[in-house]
């Protein structure tokens, strides 16, 4: 659901096929249109884009009404038993504590009841009307199957087939997994969509167990790594929050505000201190904390926010690195116009991208004369653009992290072409030159640069082993690297240790002068089993996995409350009477007795130490269905049309459904990659999908007099694009509350460069994002279509 | 010698078309970029620079609803290859292990193989004036490698090995599929045309995959094989004689009606 694994993650699909052949697994595909994944699924059910929460809510209700949840699991490993304070309430789409002016909630209204000693109040029978399980039941009472199907447009029999098949995994001896991707996240309710998956998996007892989980299929091979490494504005490496200028004005203020009193995050100061030490090894972390850049309290810095700022002339320079926003960014016409306001731009990529060539004549062409944001000709643009050629992943060495958190090293296959260089070389060179410019400065404001520790060897390419050792962490002796630490449990908050990223600490625990000291380079493909058990696919000596080589996090859940496997054949870890052993690294103090105090607190990273069915997100503790920003129908479940906590950047760009009645969505195909920079330049791939096309139902095509293969114009309030019609039986109109609605889907890979080219579909998509992450709502918007 | 062959199991194919790209890569074939016409399938059939394609076939099944069938389509490497029989320059050979291959130095681009083929696989490559097709990567196989397509297949839909072993596997698979929601599952290539050196496991009847249910050799080929080829030597003087006659008659006619030949545009 929310992913098209066969097309966009073809290798992952191999394992689904294997699970079906060897273990009789059933594959369910839920997607607005019938995809290559659906073609290989046992059950296919369509849903209208943007109605995932309604779909999931109906599942919750069915599971709760029929008591199909995994009761023991829910009781011990989730907060279903927790009592919530009376200040929590829900009425007609709004939770308590909403401020309509700020479009934000006062989340303190959603607190747990506590005992006098500060511990959480629980009802182990889960019958108290204020316990999470009962509140959940109450919240999803409205999500009966008829109402759900009226919203999602899913045929009722198909919906029931999916619900029944998946709810069956609530049996203690069954496990189910959810594979999701951008179909889930790219909505104004993206975070809550994923939350709903997590809740479902908790209810059915499918988290922390082999074969279970909520599995994010990443948009590319190192998205996990880039998040771990904080390629986002709100975190530092290892998921430490970036400091805000006023709230976290000094080291102590940060530590006080952001260190929870329970759960493993109590150790946060050790990780922060070690990170600061890795950055500025000679300084005390309390001082070097001041060197960290701080963000303005409460200000948005996400992709959409940055481009809004650029559009409003607040930003004058941009380094665009392996990114192609005027193809891949939402409201691409606006993002292109935003670039005109830059004084300078550096683009780093394998080829000239549409973004690096936004100032050329090619970037001016439009299929109609609609021009919402003022497209400029080259002579009207003053931005100075620099291009640095980067090399391909095969032309360099280094590690990538997959969505299972394996840090896998890749060896270089061949030399880079021409003057292209590895990203690491470019960044190293850049930093060395910046340091040189500041050399000798004694100004205090220059200290973050003059005092920065930057010593990765003397070659043209930085030494990967030095970097890996710094990531792993070491003791700092006299401001210099000392002995390597075994893992993050050895990190300290007093400035005596350094580690570039605490979650990766343990990837290079000893230096014996061998290649495999860097554990990401391990390649032992034997799936050894613990004596007396069957192998479960852990491959513990293949590469390395954070944290501490643990392949399944929260694997305490793989055992019963008493510490025995739920299923003997599927033993992850178990209690042998003295300690936790098995086929994985226990995510739980190795000798903590399951029947002793805290012996069932399975989710160690949470302050509650259990999985959260009730959890604070910006729009509420339970996911509630809201319509996409642009929707042709009214919300049937509450009178809030849109997620009440999202930022509305461009109120005037919201489409009138009378004028733009058709639901639009975007997606990828196997044959192209992201914004197409790497694939549209390849003739063999261009041959497979040579043009941008739009998929639509035969019914819509008839209505609009469009024939298969015709050129069509798709328009939204943001702009128009031309595409080729792919009229197919695989897309069907949706019956929403008794009325028929059409949806179309456009490939977003295309731009004006390359052997395969065409208009970027993102000229159609809106500048609006999720309430927690601001991920753009690429997947559901309104448009109209006509023959060109 | 044992036959070596591909087994292609459609129930595992996700139509990623890695095989199509791997084929072009190994054989160093240029891209043939044709505009999108409304189906994911790039080309209607194979062409001079595309030895293998994946077909995308949409169907409505009365019971299951919409079905999207995929089929990798290329030379079937028949046990009894008609193309080899009709080739006037004898450029088509069969290896001991079952690959049907062409010697392009001898090919004159006459298209006879295309017309003789029950699947119309060999296609014309204009830039060299030859007809081309899949080689079952015989150069790779003879060096102990698997064909490029099978090597790249990510889902295990394509395998390569000894035909007898793969047949056992295919029968097992068909049995499994029949018991798991595909009552019409079948093997294709075991007996068709006396046996093909490409085996298919299909989830439905061959017609649902755009394959001929009972492929037949064209009747003309019988004529060619039984009459034309054995008497080829005799035909040469006969043909030459006919040409001479034609030359004479046409000249005579031309002389008689010059206005007609010059005004041939109307």
Mean pLDDT of chain B: 89
pLDDT 10s digits, B61-71 = 888 899 999 99
The stretch A64-89 carries a mean pLDDT of 98
Q: Domain for residue A140, yes or no?
A: yes
- Whether the predicted pLDDT of A570 surpasses 90: no
CA distances from A237 to A216, A274, A485, B223 (A): 20, 11, 18, 77
Q: Which of B40-44, B71-75, B210-214, B234-238 has the lowest mean pLDDT?
A: B234-238
Rg (CA), chain A: 27
A105, A293, A301, A306, A445 from A296: Cα distances, Å? 20, 10, 10, 14, 18
Residue B261: pLDDT band (50, 70, 90) is very low
Half-sphere exposure of residue B6, counting CA atoms within 13 Å on the CB side?
A: 32
| Cβ contacts of A501 within 8 Å, gap of 6 or more | A228, A229, A237, A238, A275, A471
Q: Which residues of A touch B14 (CB under 8 A)?
A: 6-7, 10, 13, 36-37, 39-40, 670
pLDDT tens track for A198-225:
999 999 999 999 999 999 998 788 899 9
- pLDDT at B266 (0 to 100): 42
Predicted confidence (pLDDT) per residue in B117-170, tens digit = 999 999 999 999 999 999 999 999 999 999 999 999 999 999 999 999 999 999
Mean pLDDT (whole number) for B240-255: 69
Q: Between these two residues, A589 and B113, which has the higher pLDDT value?
A: B113
Q: State what percent of residues in chain A have pLDDT above 70.
A: 100
Contact A704/A668 with Cβ under 8 angstroms?
no
Find the CB nearest A691 among B30, B36, B67.
Answer: B36
B167 in contact with chain A, both atoms CB, cutoff 8 A: no
Q: Is the pLDDT of residue A620 over 80?
A: yes
pLDDT digits (tens, 9 = 90+) for B17-31: 999 999 999 999 999
CB contact under 8 A, B66 and A670: no
Mean pLDDT within B203-230? 79
B19 three-class SS: helix
In a domain, A606, yes or no: no
B188 pLDDT higher than 50 = yes
Average pLDDT, chain A: 96
Domain holding A783: CATH number?
Answer: 2.40.40.20
pLDDT at B243: 75
Question: How many domains is chain A partitioned into structurally?
Answer: 2
Q: Do B67 and A21 touch (CB under 8 A)?
A: no
pLDDT of residue B263: 43
> Residue A197 in 3-state DSSP?
helix
pLDDT for B220? 64
Residue-level pLDDT at B222: 62
Average pLDDT score over residue span A241-246: 97
User: Model confidence at A679, in pLDDT bands (50, 70, 90)?
Assistant: very high
A589 — pLDDT class (breaks 50, 70, 90)? confident
Out of B24, B58, B60, name the one closest to residue A684 (CB).
Answer: B24
User: What's the pLDDT at B231?
Assistant: 60
The verdict on B89 touching A (C-beta cutoff 8 Å) is no
Task: Label residues A759-779 b or e (16+ Cβ within 10 Å = b).
Answer: bbbbbbbbbbbbbbbbbbbbb
Please write the tens of the pLDDT for every residue from A693-707.
999 999 999 999 999
What CATH code is carried by the domain that includes residue A25? 3.40.228.10
The torsion region of residue A263 among left (phi > 0), alpha (psi -120 to 50) and beta comes to left
pLDDT tens per residue, range A710-754: 999 999 999 999 999 999 999 999 999 999 999 999 999 999 999
Q: Look at residue A7 and tell me whether its pLDDT is greater than 90.
A: yes
Q: Do A688 and B20 touch (CB under 8 A)?
A: yes
Whether B16 and A7 lie within 8 Å, measured CB to CB: yes
Residue A278 included in any domain: no
Task: Please answer yes or no on whether B14 and A691 come within 8 Å at the CB atom.
Answer: no
Q: Provide the pLDDT confidence category of residue B1 given band limits of 50, 70 and 90.
A: confident
A542 occurs within a structural domain: no
Contact A40 B33 (CB under 8 A): no
Determine contact: A4 vs chain B, CB below 8 A. Answer: no
- pLDDT of A346-382, one tens digit each? 999 999 999 999 999 999 999 999 999 999 999 999 9
Helices (H) and strands (E) in chain A, counts: 22, 29
Q: Three-class SS of residue A571?
A: coil
- Vertex A752: Cα angle to A747 and A754 (nearest 5): 90
Domain boundary among the residues A207, A237, A264 is at A207
Q: Domain containing A697: what range? A: 651-787
Optimal mutation site among A9, A38, A40, interface B, most CBs of chain B within 10 A: A40
**Triad A512, A513, A514: Cα angle to 5°:** 95
How many angstroms separate the CA atoms of A306 and A217, rounded?
Answer: 26
Query: Which A positions 731-750 lie with beta carbon below 8 A of chain B?
Result: none
A41 within domain boundaries: yes
* Peptide bond between residue A742 and the one before it cis (omega within 30 degrees of 0): no
Which residues, in sequence order, are bridge partners of residue A747?
A: A667
What is the pLDDT, as a whole number, of residue A135? Answer: 98
Residue B253 has pLDDT above 80, yes or no: no
pLDDT of residue B232: 57
Question: What ipTM does the predicted assembly reach?
Answer: 0.92
pLDDT tens digits along A508-520: 999 999 999 999 9
Q: Do A684 and B17 touch (CB under 8 A)?
A: no
Q: Is residue A495 part of a domain?
A: no
Q: Give the Cβ contact number of residue B74 at 10 Å.
A: 24
Q: Tokens for A586?
A: 């226990």
Q: How confident is the model at residue B246 (pLDDT cuts 50, 70, 90)?
A: confident
Chain A interface includes B203 (CB < 8 A): no
For residue B230, the model assigns a pLDDT of 59
**pLDDT tens profile A134-175:** 999 999 999 999 999 999 999 999 999 999 999 999 999 999
Residue B15, chain A, CB below 8 Å: the answer is yes
Asked which of A174, A207, A240 is the last residue of a domain, the reply is A207
The Cα–Cα gap between A477 and A480 comes to: 5
- Nearest Cα neighbor of B88 from B193, B224, B195, B207 is B224
Let me know: does A762 contact A328? Beta carbons within 8 Å: yes
pLDDT(A309) > 50: yes
Query: Does residue A659 lie in a domain region?
Result: yes
pLDDT interval class at B227 (50, 70, 90): low
Instruction: Choose one of A207, A225, A247: the last residue of a domain.
Output: A207
Grade residue A584 by pLDDT with cuts at 50, 70 and 90: very high
pTM score, two decimals? Answer: 0.93
pLDDT score of B52 more than 50: yes
Within-domain flag for A415: no
Give the percent of chain B with pLDDT over 70. Answer: 85
What pLDDT does B252 receive? 62
Cβ separation B40–A689 shorter than 8 A: yes
pLDDT for B218: 72
**Paired tokens of A440:** 């000798």
Assess B63–A contact: CB distance below 8 Å, yes or no. Answer: no
């Amino acid at each position: 659901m929310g992913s098209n694994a066969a097309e966009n993650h073809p290798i992952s699909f191999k394992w689904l096929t294997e699970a079906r052949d060897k273990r009789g697994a059933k594959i369910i595909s839920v997607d607005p249109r019938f995809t290559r994944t659906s073609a290989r699924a046992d059950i296919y059910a369509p849903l209208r884009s943007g109605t995932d929460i309604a779909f999931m809510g109906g599942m919750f209700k069915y599971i709760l009404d029929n008591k199909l949840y995994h009761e023991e699991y829910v009781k011990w490993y989730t907060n279903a038993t927790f009592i919530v304070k009376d200040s929590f309430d829900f009425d007609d789409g709004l939770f308590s504590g909403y401020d309509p002016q700020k479009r934000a909630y006062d989340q303190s209204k959603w607190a747990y009841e506590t005992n006098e000693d500060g511990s959480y109040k629980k009802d182990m029978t889960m019958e108290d009307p204020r316990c999470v399980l009962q509140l959940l039941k109450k919240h999803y009472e409205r999500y009966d199957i008829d109402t759900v199907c009226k919203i999602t447009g899913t045929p009722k029999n198909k919906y029931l087939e999916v619900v029944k098949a998946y709810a069956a995994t609530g049996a203690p001896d069954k496990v189910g997994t959810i594979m999701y991707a951008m179909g889930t996240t790219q909505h104004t309710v993206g975070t809550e969509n994923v939350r709903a998956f997590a809740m479902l998996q908790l209810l059915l007892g499918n988290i922390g167990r082999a074969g279970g989980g909520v599995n994010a299929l990443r948009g590319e091979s190192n998205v996990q790594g880039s998040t771990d490494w904080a390629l986002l504005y709100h975190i530092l490496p290892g998921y430490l929050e970036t400091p805000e200028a006023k709230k976290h004005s000094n080291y102590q203020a940060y530590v006080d505000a952001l260190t929870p009193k329970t759960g493993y995050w109590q150790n946060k100061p050790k990780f922060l201190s070690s990170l600061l030490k890795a950055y500025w090894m000679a300084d005390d972390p309390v001082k070097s904390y001041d060197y960290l850049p701080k963000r303005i309290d409460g200000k948005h810095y996400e992709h959409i926010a940055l481009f809004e700022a650029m559009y409003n002339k607040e930003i004058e320079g941009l380094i665009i690195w392996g990114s192609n926003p005027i193809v891949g960014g939402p409201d691409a016409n606006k993002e292109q116009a935003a670039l005109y306001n830059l004084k300078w731009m550096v683009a780093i990529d394998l080829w000239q991208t549409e973004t690096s060539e936004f100032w050329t004549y090619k970037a001016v062409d439009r299929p109609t004369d609609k021009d919402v944001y003022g497209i400029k000709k080259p002579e009207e643009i003053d931005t100075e653009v620099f291009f640095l050629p980067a090399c391909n992943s095969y032309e360099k060495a280094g590690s990538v992290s997959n969505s299972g958190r394996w840090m896998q090293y890749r060896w270089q296959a061949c030399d880079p072409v021409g003057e292209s260089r590895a990203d690491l070389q470019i960044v190293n060179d850049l930093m060395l030159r910046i340091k040189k410019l500041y050399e000798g400065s004694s100004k205090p404001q220059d200290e973050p640069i003059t005092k920065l520790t930057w010593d990765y060897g003397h070659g043209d390419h930085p030494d990967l082993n030095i970097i890996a050792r710094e990531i792993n962490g070491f003791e700092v002796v006299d401001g210099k690297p000392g002995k390597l630490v075994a893992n993050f449990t050895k990190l300290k908050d007093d400035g005596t240790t350094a580690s570039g990223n605490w979650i990766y600490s343990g990837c290079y625990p000893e230096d014996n002068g061998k290649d495999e000291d860097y554990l990401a380079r391990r390649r032992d493909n034997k799936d050894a089993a613990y004596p007396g058990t069957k192998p479960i696919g852990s491959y513990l000596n293949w590469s390395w996995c954070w944290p501490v080589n643990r392949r399944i996090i929260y694997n305490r859940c793989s055992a019963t409350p008493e510490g025995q496997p739920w299923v003997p054949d599927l033993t992850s870890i178990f209690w042998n009477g003295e300690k936790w052993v098995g086929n994985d690294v226990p995510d739980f103090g190795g000798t903590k007795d399951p029947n002793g105090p805290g012996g069932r607190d399975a989710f160690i990273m949470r302050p509650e130490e259990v999985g959260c069915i009730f959890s604070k997100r910006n729009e509420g503790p339970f996911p509630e269905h809201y319509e996409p920003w642009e929707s042709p129908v009214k919300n049937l479940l509450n009178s809030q049309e849109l997620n009440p906590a999202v930022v509305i950047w461009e109120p005037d760009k919201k489409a009138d459904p009378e004028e733009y009645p058709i639901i639009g969505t975007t997606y990828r195909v196997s044959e192209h990659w992201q914004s197409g920079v790497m694939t549209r330049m390849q003739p063999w791939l261009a041959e497979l999908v040579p043009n941008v096309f739009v998929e639509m139902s035969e019914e819509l095509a008839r209505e609009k007099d469009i024939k298969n293969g015709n050129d069509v114009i798709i328009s939204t309030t943001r702009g128009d694009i031309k595409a080729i019609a792919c009229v197919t039986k695989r897309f069907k109109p949706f019956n929403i509350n008794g009325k028929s609605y059409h949806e179309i889907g456009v490939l977003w890979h295309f731009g004006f460069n390359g052997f395969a080219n065409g208009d970027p579909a993102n000229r159609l998509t809106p500048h609006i994002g999720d309430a927690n992450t601001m991920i753009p709502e690429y997947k559901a918007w309104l448009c109209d279509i006509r023959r060109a | 010698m044992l036959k070596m062959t591909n087994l292609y199991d459609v129930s595992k194919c996700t139509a990623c078309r890695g095989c199509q790209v791997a084929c072009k890569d190994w054989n160093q074939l240029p891209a043939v970029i044709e505009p999108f016409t409304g189906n994911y399938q790039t080309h209607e059939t194979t062409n001079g620079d595309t030895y293998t394609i994946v077909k995308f076939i949409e169907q409505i099944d009365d019971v299951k609803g919409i079905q999207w069938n995929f089929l990798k389509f290329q030379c079937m490497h028949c046990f009894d290859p008609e193309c080899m029989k009709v080739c006037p320059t004898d450029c088509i050979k069969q290896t001991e292990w079952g690959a049907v291959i062409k010697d392009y130095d001898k090919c004159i681009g006459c298209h006879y193989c295309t017309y003789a083929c029950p699947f119309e696989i060999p296609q014309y490559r204009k830039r060299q004036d030859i007809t081309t097709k899949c080689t079952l990567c015989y150069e790779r196989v003879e060096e102990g490698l698997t064909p490029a397509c099978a090597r790249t297949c990510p889902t295990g839909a394509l395998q390569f090995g000894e035909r007898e072993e793969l047949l056992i596997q295919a029968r097992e698979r068909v049995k499994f599929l029949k018991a798991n929601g595909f009552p019409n599952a079948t093997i294709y290539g075991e007996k068709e045309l006396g046996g093909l050196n490409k085996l298919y496991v299909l989830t439905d009847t061959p017609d649902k995959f755009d394959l001929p249910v009972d492929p037949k050799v064209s009747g003309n080929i019988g004529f060619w094989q039984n009459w034309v080829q054995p008497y080829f030597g005799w035909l040469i003087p006969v043909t030459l004689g006919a040409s001479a006659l034609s030359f004479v008659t046409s000249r005579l006619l031309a002389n008689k009606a010059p206005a007609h030949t010059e005004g041939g545009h109307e």
